[in-house]
Amino acid sequence: MGVGTILEAKKILLIANGEKKANACAQFIEGPVTSQITASALQLHQHVTVVLDEEAASKLKRIGYYNWVRDNKHLVQKYLGR
């Protein structure tokens, strides 16, 4: 399945685990959208859920922010009426 086909999905769930995935996860989440990191195209999708274990998330620079968003998502949804 190519990136274009994946981006046509209504919702996307990406699950990654393990230290071997840490660099790729940091690059596709925090790096620029680039053809060299094809998963970075997920930044362009409106409804992506990314689930990482601690090892896969270990190279993220803004982990505190991502945890805050996860923990306070209900406040945003309440504000948006969802």
Local confidence band at 75 (pLDDT 50, 70, 90 cut-offs):
confident
Structural domain span for residue 36: 3-80
Between CA 23 and CA 4 the distance in angstroms is 23
DSSP string, 9-21: SS-EEEEE-SGGG
The number of folded domains in the chain is 1
User: For residue 2, what pLDDT is reported?
Assistant: 87
CB atoms within 10 A of CB 76: 10
Q: What is the pLDDT of residues 3-35, one digit of tens each?
A: 889 999 999 999 999 999 999 999 999 999 999
Query: In this model, does residue 73 exceed pLDDT 90?
Result: no
Q: How confident is the model at residue 79 (pLDDT cuts 50, 70, 90)?
A: confident
**Beta bridge partner(s), residue 52:** 16
- pLDDT tens string 54-71: 999 999 999 999 999 889
